[in-house]
């Protein structure tokens, strides 16, 4: 176990301020794609932090968020960085 790693992205909580609007006038597919991309950026930062520490896996991964201001929200992806070793390599047993 190498310890906690995280990725943090700050983004606007207002889809209109972010320039995202569906043809019906409300949050739509563009907003959904934006949210997926935001989560992916946070996960990417978390993975980079884990790799920097020498990890090859992350366990117990979760998302969290908090309001930073009335217009900004922070999205955090976090987990525990580990070096995963195949069971057969650790015990010296051979796979059949």
Q: What is the pLDDT of residues 7-34, one digit of tens each?
A: 999 988 765 555 555 555 555 557 778 8
Model pTM score: 0.75
Quick check: is 22 in a domain?
A: yes
Quick check: is 15 in a domain?
A: yes
Residue 79's contacts (CB-CB under 8 Å, 6 or more residues apart) are: 4, 5, 6, 46, 50, 58, 59, 60, 61, 62
| Interval 1-14: pLDDT, tens | 999 999 999 988 76
**Of residues 28, 6, 9, 10, the one with CA closest to residue 19:** 28
| Interval 37-46: pLDDT, tens | 999 999 999 9
Q: How far apart are CA 24 and CA 14, in angstroms?
A: 16
Number of domains making up the chain: 1
| Interval 44-94: pLDDT, tens | 999 999 999 999 999 999 999 999 988 889 999 999 999 999 888 666 655
Query: Which residue range forms the structural domain that includes residue 9?
Result: 3-91
**Of residues 40, 58, 42, 38, the one with CA closest to residue 50:** 58
pLDDT value of position 29: 57
Q: First and final CA of the chain: distance in angstroms?
A: 29
Main-chain phi, psi angles of 30, to 5 degrees: -60, -40
Quick check: is 96 in a domain?
A: no
Query: For residue 12, what is the domain's CATH number?
Result: 3.30.110.70
């Amino acid at each position: 176990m190498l310890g906690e790693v995280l990725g943090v992205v700050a983004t606007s909580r207002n889809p209109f301020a972010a320039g995202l609007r569906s043809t019906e006038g409300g949050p739509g597919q563009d907003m959904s794609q934006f949210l997926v991309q935001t989560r992916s950026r946070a996960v990417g930062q978390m993975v980079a932090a884990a790799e920097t520490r020498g990890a090859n896996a992350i366990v117990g991964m979760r998302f969290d968020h908090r309001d930073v201001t009335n217009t900004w929200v922070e999205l955090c992806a976090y987990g525990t960085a580990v070096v995963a070793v195949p069971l057969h390599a650790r015990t010296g047993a051979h796979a059949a």
